[in-house]
Chain A
C-alpha cells in the first residue's frame, strides 16, 4: 500500500514538474491593428501624387523631377522602386517571467516599370505583409518586387 502511495505520489510530482516545465514555454501574443498615420521611413506617396504618370507617355526624367530619384533601380527589369514604411499597430507578447511590446510596421513599394525607351510601361503600389514585426517580415523586398514583375498585369496606381 505504501509502495502504491509512493508511486502515485511520484506520478503526481512528475506531472506537476512536467506541467511547470511546459508552462515555462507557454506564451501569449496579441496584435492590435491601428491606423497607418505615422510614416517612419521613406516618403508616403498616394494616387493623387501619381496622377501625372501616364503609361507610354511619362518618362523617367519626368518622374524623377516630380518624385525625386528612386532609392533603388532594378536595371535588369528597368524598374524604379520607391518605398515607405508606416506604423500599423502594436503587439504584446507575454510569457512567464517576462514579456515584450512594440510597434508593428507595414511597408509599401511604388514600382514603376519602364519600357526600352525609358517611358512608363506600368506602375503600381504594393503593400507589405499585413503584420510585419520587422524580423517576421515574410517576404523580402526583392521577392515582392519579383512577384509584381511576374504578375504581368498592367495596373493603374492602387494598393494591392
Chain B
C-alpha cells in the first residue's frame, strides 16, 4: 500500500484540469449555451494572443505547450480560478482547433467584469536553469459590458530553457522580455473568420498587476442588486 501526502489547492486542481484538457481533448468553438450567454449579454468571448519564442527561436504553440511548461494561463477572480456556472473545475482558456493554439490565439468566455490572468512558464525539474527568468506574471483584465468579443492583447516574450538530464526544458520567461502588444487588426481578422455572426471585437488591453489590492468589478451583479 502506497501512501502519498497531498495538500491540493483549488488553483492547483484547476490548473491540472486545464493541463489535462489541453493534453487530449481540444475544445470546440463556443457552445450553444455560451452563444446564448453572449446574446443575453452575460458573457463575452475573450481573445488572447501569445507570440512567443523559445531561446530566441519562433515556435508553434500546441496542446503540449502547457504540459512541457512553455506557457500556461489561468483566469482568476478573488484569487480563485473562475468557475463557469455550468461546470465546476472547468478550464477557462481554450483552443480554436484540435490541440492547436491557432497561431498562438486562445479564448475563453467570461461575464463582464474584472479578472486577473496568471500567465506562467517553466518546469520544476531542471538540473540547471538560466538566471534572470520569471515564472509568473499577473495581469488585470477588464471585460466591458455589452461586448460580444473582447481582445485583451498579445503577449510577446522569450522563454529560456534549462538543462534536463537528457535535453532541455522551459525554465521561464526571460526577464525584461515580456511585452503586452495591441494587435487589434489581427484580432479583428480572426474574429471575422471565427465569429462572423458576432460584433467585431472590442479592444480592452490587459495591464500588469503590480501588487496591492486587487479590485474586482462584477457589473451584472451590481445591476441585479439595484433592481
Contacts and interface: CB of A to CB of B under 8 A. Distances in A.
A79 to B, nearest CB: 9
A73 B213 contact: yes
A78 B214 CA distance: 13
B1 A98 contact: yes
Contact of B2 (A99, A133, A141): A99
Interface of A: 69-77, 81, 83, 94, 97-103, 105, 133-135, 137, 140-142, 145-146
Contacts of B5: 100-102
For the complex of A and B, list the 3 residue pairs with the smallest distance between their C-beta atoms, beginning with the closest: A76-B222, A134-B8, A135-B13
A24 B22 CA distance: 29
Interface of B: 1-10, 12-13, 77-80, 83, 89, 114, 212-219, 221-222, 225
A58 B10 CA distance: 34
A71 B211 CA distance: 9
14 contacts: A69-B213, A71-B79, A75-B216, A75-B217, A76-B218, A76-B225, A83-B79, A97-B1, A101-B4, A102-B6, A102-B8, A134-B13, A137-B10, A142-B80
A71 B222 CA distance: 21
Contacts of B215: 72-73, 75
Q: Main SS of chain B's interface residues?
A: mixed
B3 to A, nearest CB: 5
A77 B2 CA distance: 48
Contacts of B218: 74, 76
Contacts of A71: 79, 213-214
A145 B166 CA distance: 49
A137 B9 CA distance: 9
A76 B80 contact: no
A137 B81 CA distance: 12
A74 B216 contact: yes
B77 A135 contact: no
B214 A72 contact: yes
